């Protein structure tokens, strides 16, 4: 393949927890936490991505570790632009320099406002994009999961990310109906921290809560009640302490989050036209995102909806892969800028 046939175009999954970059022709080339470490005295950026995440809970007073994305949207515009510039530059470091600025397909929550969407597009351009095209997260997840989004048939995707859970029914290259709730992985971590503080008087950090969720987090009926030891700070003595915690306790801590996700799925199904609902009954509901990896969650949603539920082959990367694959349909996004970011009822 000659150098002139290589495309510089990028797909960016700008997530609350992690950012992934897909380079056309190469696949996912970068996967880093959406975290920035900033020196409060000088205003300088000290670290971005994995190196910044490793500083969480371990920084001196003059360094603040920031998550510039909150609930799937930009909470800190300038820091997000700096972070994106770093990630885009890192993803393109081995690419041809003569190809110029890339077109960027960038993922946004389906419930995003026009102002929030504009901020994402502007931040992409500030980070070095020639043109930036927003694509709704569930639409990208559906493409990444291999669902027939361009055909006249109903596909249902549930993408459980860090900041939002996106539920959508897709047909003929557009979102027919959707729900975007700001209840997802980060809420699960908060719920675990709150539960342990309340029941054990133990303070733990975000990273410990996330590890607990990934190690023993599960939904529904507990068949094997696993147990792990965790360390934190005793709120009564102020000293480090180790306790044991079980899967059943984590399930109880996460029940409200699970209920919110199940209700979002049910609400979306209630808004779905009968013909498309019949297609979903045949094909099933597809789960993607990091939350899809929680043990038994697929079974819990299946029991609540009386429909088959499947976890996509690559849940962590499906949004990024779909965002990258959508670059092949860039003309569709140029001529129909809102078809894939807004549901029919908006």
For residue 61, give the 3-state DSSP assignment. Answer: coil
**Rounded average pLDDT over 104-127:** 90
On whether residue 306 sits in a domain, the answer given is yes
194 shares its domain with 242: yes
**Rounded average pLDDT over 215-233:** 92
Give the whole-angstrom CA distance, residue 166 versus residue 178: 7
Domain end call among 210, 235, 253: 253
Give the whole-angstrom CA distance, residue 304 versus residue 114: 33
267 shares its domain with 160: yes
175 shares its domain with 283: yes
On whether residue 41 sits in a domain, the answer given is no
- Average pLDDT over all residues of the chain: 89
CB 150 within 8 A of CB 168: no
pLDDT tens sequence across 73-91:
899 988 999 999 899 888 8
231 shares its domain with 267: no
CATH number at residue 190: 3.90.640.10
On whether residue 179 sits in a domain, the answer given is yes
Give helix 247-270 / helix 185-200 axis angle, nearest 10°. Answer: 140
pLDDT tens sequence across 275-324:
999 999 999 999 999 999 999 999 999 999 999 999 999 999 999 999 99
Give the whole-angstrom CA distance, residue 337 versus residue 155: 21
On whether residue 287 sits in a domain, the answer given is yes
Phi-psi region of 189 (alpha: psi -120 to 50; beta: other; left: phi over 0): alpha
pLDDT of 341 reads 52
Please state, for a pLDDT cut of 90, what percent of the chain lies above it: 68
Starting at the edge strand found earlier in the chain, the sheet holding 18-23 runs 27-33, 18-23, 10-14, 103-108, 131-136
Q: Which residues pair with 66 in a beta bridge?
A: 36
Q: Which residues pair with 47 in a beta bridge?
A: 37
193 shares its domain with 230: yes
Cα distances from 255 to residues 14, 118, 262, 267, in angstroms, run 27, 35, 10, 18
Structurally, how many domains does the chain consist of? 2
179 shares its domain with 197: no
Q: Which residues pair with 21 in a beta bridge?
A: 12, 30
Q: Which domain holds residue 190?
A: 185-253
On whether residue 106 sits in a domain, the answer given is no
On whether residue 296 sits in a domain, the answer given is yes
pLDDT of 286 reads 97
234 shares its domain with 264: no
242 shares its domain with 265: no
CATH number at residue 294: 3.30.420.40
pTM score: 0.88
């Amino acid at each position: 393949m000659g150098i002139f046939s290589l495309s510089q175009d990028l797909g960016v999954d700008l997530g609350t927890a992690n950012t992934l970059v897909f380079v056309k022709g190469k696949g996912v080339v970068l996967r880093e936490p959406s975290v920035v470490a900033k020196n409060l005295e000088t205003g300088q950026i000290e670290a971005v991505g994995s190196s910044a995440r490793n500083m969480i809970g371990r920084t001196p007073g003059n360094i603040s570790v920031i998550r510039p994305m909150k609930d799937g949207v930009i909470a800190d515009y300038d820091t997000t632009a700096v972070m994106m510039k770093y990630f885009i530059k890192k993803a393109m470091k081995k690419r041809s320099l003569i190809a110029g600025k890339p077109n960027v397909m960038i993922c946004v929550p389906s419930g995003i406002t026009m102002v929030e969407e504009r901020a994402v597009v502007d931040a992409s351009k500030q980070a070095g994009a020639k043109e930036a095209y927003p694509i709704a997260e569930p639409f990208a997840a559906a493409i990444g999961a291999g669902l027939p989004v361009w055909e006249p048939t109903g596909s249902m995707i549930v993408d459980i990310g860090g900041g939002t859970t996106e539920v959508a029914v897709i047909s003929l290259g557009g979102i027919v109906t959707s729900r975007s709730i700001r209840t997802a992985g980060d809420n699960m971590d908060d719920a675990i921290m709150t539960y342990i503080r309340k029941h054990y008087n133990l303070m733990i950090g975000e990273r410990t809560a996330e590890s607990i969720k990934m190690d023993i987090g599960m939904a529904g009926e507990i068949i094997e009640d696993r147990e792990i030891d965790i360390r934190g700070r005793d709120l009564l003595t102020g000293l480090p302490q180790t306790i044991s915690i079980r899967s059943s306790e984590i399930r109880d801590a996460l029940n409200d989050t699970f209920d919110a996700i199940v209700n979002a799925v049910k609400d979306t199904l209630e808004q779905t036209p009968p013909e498309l609902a019949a297609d979903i009954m045949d094909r099933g509901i597809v789960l993607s995102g990091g939350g899809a990896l929680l043990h038994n969650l697929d079974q819990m949603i299946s029991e609540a909806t009386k429909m088959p539920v499947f976890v996509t082959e690559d849940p962590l990367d499906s949004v990024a892969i779909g965002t990258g694959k959508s670059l092949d349909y860039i003309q569709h996004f140029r001529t129909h800028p809102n078809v894939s970011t807004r549901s029919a009822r908006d």
